[in-house]
Amino acid sequence: MDLDKVIRKVPNFPKPGILFYDITSLFADPEALSYTLKKMEELYRDTEIDGVIAIESRGFLLGAPFALQKKLPLVLARKQGKLPGDIIGKSYSLEYGEETLEIHKSDLTPGKKWLIVDDLIATGGTLEAVASMIETQGAEVAGIFSVIGLPFLKYGEKIGKYEPRTLINYENECVDSK
């Protein structure tokens, strides 16, 4: 399966100079989605995971089927103001702006190991923020999964210690749009 072929690239979105790797085109391809979930299962077959934290919103669509398949609890990291209960929140910068994510405190059981799932790692700021919330609550990061990695944005400096895993990496932004 050549994931590059099913990932839509949109230049200058959402801001000039950003090449947006759009995985909605991967979700629209059942074979590509099923391949992605199979790969996730293979990558984490031998990893001790107590639960999955999926990041709004594309991370939800990967974290939910994975958690269901592995019969693990699924916790949502949501954008500011969406969760009604007692939350822990963290603000951070990402490739093209600022964002705040929140998690229900009562969902983050201390001592448990969480796999964090998102669609793409750019600077690593998003995943670092979620990892920091997990640790603040006395829980642990079991790993980080994302379909796409942009290692040239040096996310390893922020989240390398959590051994992030990706299925496809892009080494620069100079990819023709499809």
Note if 95 is an active site residue.
yes
Q: Is 116 helix (H, G, I), strand (E, B) or coil?
A: strand
Residue 99: HSE in the Cβ half-sphere, 13 Å Cα cutoff: 21
CA gap 140, 125 in Å, rounded: 18
Nearer to ligand AMP, 24 or 106 (CB): 24
Which entry of 78, 95, 102, 128 is annotated as an active-site residue? 95
Restricted to residues 129-168, the positions that interact with ligand AMP (CB under 6 A) are: 155
* 3-class DSSP state of 163: coil
Give yes or no for residue 66 binding ligand AMP (CB under 6 A): no
Among 76, 87, 88, 126, interactor with ligand AMP by CB under 6 A: 126
- Decide whether 36 or 126 has the Cβ nearer to ligand AMP: 126
Q: What's CA 121's distance to the chain center, in Å? A: 7
**Interacting positions 4-43 with ligand AMP (CB under 6 A):** 18-21
Spatial contact of 120 and 98, defined as CB atoms under 8 Å apart: no
- CB contact at 8 A, 53 and 63: yes
The 3-state DSSP class for residue 157 equals helix
Smallest separation, CB 70 to ligand AMP (Å): 22
Active site residue 58: yes
The mark string for 71-110 relative to ligand AMP (x by CB under 6 A, - otherwise) is -----------------------xx---------------
Asked if 78 and 102 touch (Cβ cutoff 8 Å), the reply is yes
Q: Which residues are catalytic?
A: 58, 95
List residues binding ligand AMP (CB under 6 A).
18-21, 55, 58, 94-95, 118-126, 155
